[in-house]
Chain A
Amino acid sequence: MSAGMSAAAGAAPGAAPGTATGTATGSGRVGDSPRRVGGHDRVTGLQRYVADLHLPDELHARLVTVPVARARIVTIDASAAERVPGFRFVMTAADLPQPMPRFGPQFRDRPVIAVGETKYHGDPVAAVAADTRDAAEEAAGLVRVDYEELPAAFTVAAALDPAAPLVQDPSLRPNDPLVGTNVLREHRVGWGDVEAAVADLVVEQRYTFPMVTHFAIEPHAYIVAPDGDGIAVWSSIQHPNWLQKVLAELLRLPLSKVRVHSPDPGGGFGGKQHTKYEPLVAFMALRAGRPVRLVLTLEETFQAVRRAAAEVRVRTGFQSDGTLAFQDIEANYLIGAYADIADRVVGKGSYPGCGPYRVPAARILARSVLSHTVPSTAFRGFGNPQVNWAVESNLDEGARALGIDRLELRLRNLARPGEAFIPFDTPCDGQWEQSVRRAAELIGWGRPLPAGHGLGIAVGIKSGPTTGLSYATVRLLVDGSVIVFAGTSDMGQGARTVFAQIAADELGAPLDAVTVVMGDTAIVPYDQQTSASRSTVLMGNAVLAACREIQGKLRAMAARLHGLDEATVMVDRGVVRLPERELTILEVLVPGLGRLGGELIGNGEMRKDAEPDHPLGGSAAFFEFNCTAVEAAVDEETGDVTLVHYATVSDVGKAINPLQVRMQDEGAAIQGLGHTLMEHYIFDESGRIRNLGAIDYRIPTSLDLPLEIVSEHVENEDGPGPYGSKGMSEGALLCVASAVGAAVRDATGVAIRDLPLTPERVWRALQERP
């Protein structure tokens, strides 16, 4: 980016626009809970999100869509739009390179803008650029699109119908045996012989999970500016390096000419992982020769990101003592019109579908079913909550049929430490029974309850990252202060604070003397991605390795200064240990650097390589494990569900910042209550989203929370991350629905197998109760 633009862009003094920095305050050794780095700015409105940034001469873009899902685009007439004062240009497929550039993290199936036909309600057919946002909006509303509505598929059943219209153009899937269907891929995992397995009881049921959206509070926003012979990009993105690669390929630029600024997102939850409208805005900026910005409305965000809906059939075999005999799972995930990362979600989310149990025989079949709906993508839990809802609910059915306590049944089958519960994957890496027993204790499992109340307990498990690559650079400055460069995106999960605590602890710096720099691909070393609860483990280890490299230099420095053999000097958690005494880091650093001063630089790399023969391309770096227990009260006249007590316990290895761990688990629980109790997309017969926006798509508010939430965690320092930590923050979402559904079942005697458990759905089930 040019110096002129940097100076004029109105960013905070000393920082390029969007280059977010943060300084920790308070004491903050590892295991403390200092105030969140950047937290003050986040809650007072000082933090500058992408939508808060403005560049000189910028144009405002607005999208043009049609009010149906699938339509043939006949003509696009912008003549009325052109008369709006401030109108600059309209961009359609015809204005883009031919053939239409396509992109996508798994399949290159997504066009920069709809070409020929729209595939879902919200698929943009044109974009207008104007001098102001109001002018762009006015002009976008005046672009006349003549279209012909086409047959479409919005449900699993409709999409799997042999006569269904194909969502994806067959030419995009050469040599694919499934090309004539809407099944993008099938994922099969299993072990043992399900057909031969003998069981005393077999329970088979079908469960459904709704289509929901992430609802990040920060709008998705994109700014692209021509920058010398390259481009500068600002995006509320979780994976800036991946975006950089996508744009470099589409625009045929060297990576070094695509500079991605990714200011800390205001919530991501997976929805901000992958490229969406950045290519469109980039082509518009290059056409305009000036910066172009696009800030999505909440309604447009609903049309950009969502979680896959699912229909899951589970057949579980039990022995009469509650021992599991087999699991037979078929999960049809309804993904959207473009693959995005959805097929990976299906494969990885269904893979640990049998749960953290000893299952002698397992068969899991999961399908990615394309449909004419919003492309589904990563969403906290990554495909696991859908299958968990089905499998955990089915275990309850079995326990009830066998007359075995539901907690007891889980404990009886739970994998023990070191047990290869998925035969070809990382063995059980925690004392999981501790979490289950603690959650049961917190909810008072087994106590007598008032009429209309019920208890539920469920466990969830998720594979951590299967591959990873994170680099970190740490600079120890001459006054003992520290700068950490880490390419993680801190979207609210608290990664800045965790890295600052690690560096502060290792280098003996006060936490408020540590600055963490993120969010600029021209400055910060490469990081593969911020996803799968990986950053504390993978980037945390990279930061730790960088600190250790500096410690090595300090060791050599101390040996030199004191005429000692280097082997007799130790540097450990901020202290330099000589044979006879201890020195502070500064007592070595200042004389060691000498008159010219300077600094010590350490680089760290954390790599988890792919395993080509593994079903997921790699074994789990760790497992996220959670147990949730709930007491629910149901108003039988209205169907209202009140969560009276709620306990969530996660196995986190080591809590580097216990308060942040608790906040993540509480946040995950509350987010999970959305799909459990109230959230779902509603479509009309044309595939138009009827509840588009906050008025008719309801998320939990503070008044909808359980009357009491208790969040605890188990720490045995048995994880692969710094100090024995494991990744966390998705775990507590995995089994929310399963635990709540079980409590509602316990309170009413009625099993409801479709989510969300709206009052009307519960009331209806009670009406139909025999």
Chain B
Amino acid sequence: MNFFYFASPSTFYRLAGILAPWCFAVAAILGAAGLYVGLVQAPTDAQQGEVYRVIFIHVPAAWMSMFLYFVMACYGAMSLTFNTRLAAMMARALAPTGAMFTFVALWTGAFWGRPTWGAYWVWDARLTSELVLLFLYFGFIALGNAFEDPRRGDRAAALLALIGVVNLPIIYFSVLWWNTLHQGSSVSFKGTSMHVSMLTGMLLMAFAFWSYSIGTALARVRTIILERERRTRWVRAL
């Protein structure tokens, strides 16, 4: 079978329709497991008490916010270089979910920061660059919708996503480069500084969010395909 078989919107529409419910189901199962491990099994933290449990959504959401931007920029680069319609539609479909996770990361960070740092918001490098990421997502969505011709919006937004990619290493390394309030990563490959059940809960939640993101992106790309291809014969025949 040809690799590019699924690159045509009509075949991808059907494929996405089959895959999306499975992604949501996997996300629900992993999410339930992650919440059980995180909220019931994981012990209370010695220093922070119960409030550390925000970590089970905060860290996976922050990971997803950066990862989704990266994937979006890759689709953008693909759509610019090969001029493929589907890649541009995937980039457009990922943006709202990425913005949602960026918002969740900022929001949960605020409600975790209040009891531990004493402030909902501090102007630290990581927080600021995450806020810039949120505005990059908003800019991407707004620029994509600002033109009469959707293809024009696709390409302008893809280029913007590529320019904004510079922000990702700044967010990721901000806690290493600057001495900031935000603590460094507590997960590393050489053994972690956390309890096993905490790590399990966090990874389960991360995979749940990941699966959810694929599900929403596929569901959204189906709607985008329907709107764009509404005058074609195969859509009329649905």
Answer whether A and B are interacting partners: no
